[in-house]
Chains A and B, each alone.
Chain A
Amino acid sequence: MVSQVTSMSRNGVSDWLVQRVSALVLAAYTLCIFGFVVINPGIDFETWSGFINTTGMQVFTMLAILSTCAHAWIGMWTIGSDYLREHTLGSGATTLRFIYQIGCVLIIAVYLIWGINILWGNN
């Protein structure tokens, strides 16, 4: 088995499982939000914020944000390790891939903190 510190997970099996569990959470959240928007045409602020600010939706939204972060990390990591490689890009590939991964982690961290701030910082 190949292990790399930059994978940031124990192994591919845990990545595989996390990718699917987070996908299910995101699929359910997507259907929930679209369902609400579709059954409330011409939705106003009161209805929308009333819906999102219920405890249940705050928890669901937080779960969706966490799932997005995990899902995006595994996806972006996979893409980086598939395409930013030595045999096509030369010896600089590892450095480039490392910078790419740091960039992805930073963006994901910003999304997470921003998301938490939106959910519990507005009121």
Chain B
Amino acid sequence: MKQNSRPINVGIGDLASFKWPITALTSITHRVAGVVLFIGVAFMLYALDLSLSSEEGFINLKEMMTSPLGKLITWGLLSALAYHFVAGIKHLVMDMGVGETLEGGQFAAKLTIFFSAALIALAAIWVI
């Protein structure tokens, strides 16, 4: 049985009993942001399609994106993108062997939160 040779990972049911160190929080948030972006691609493609279809399409899209719901979706997707981007850069840096100790990982997690929070705040200002 090949299944038996596979590593055992955690299940959704185990979540409540876990401790959530900062590194775990930043890791799961990276995943959640990735799933949000996966769904968000539909919105991005729709926007790209409309923006390139015609002058009216472009103006339509601008109106949609400046409506309250449009602003919320835009900010939400920008936030997910900002977080996934920053956490992804952290991964690439760690792949190069930087910050692989426990302290290094915790510091990198803090940097991820700091930079993504700054970008998410900037996105909010830009969208409004």
Query: Is there an interface contact between B88 and A23, defined as CB atoms closer than 8 Å?
Result: yes
Chain A contact residues, majority secondary structure: helix
Q: Whole-angstrom distance from the CB of B59 to the nearest CB of chain A?
A: 7
Query: Is there an interface contact between B52 and A53, defined as CB atoms closer than 8 Å?
Result: yes
Inside 8 A of A68's CB, which chain B residues have their CB? Answer: 41
A binding-site residues for B, Cβ under 8 Å: 2-4, 20, 23-24, 27, 30, 44-45, 48-49, 52-53, 68, 72, 75-76, 79, 82-83, 85-89, 107, 111, 114-115, 118, 122
Inside 8 A of B8's CB, which chain A residues have their CB? Answer: 85, 87
Q: Whole-angstrom distance from the CB of B80 to the nearest CB of chain A?
A: 12
Query: Is there an interface contact between B95 and A118, defined as CB atoms closer than 8 Å?
Result: no
Assuming the A-B contacts A75-B34, A83-B12, A86-B3, are A118 and B48 also in contact, with contact meaning beta carbons closer than 8 angstroms in the complex?
yes
Q: How far is the CA of A27 from the CA of B10 in the complex (A)?
A: 30
Inside 8 A of A3's CB, which chain B residues have their CB? Answer: 2
Q: How far is the CA of A2 from the CA of B51 in the complex (A)?
A: 45
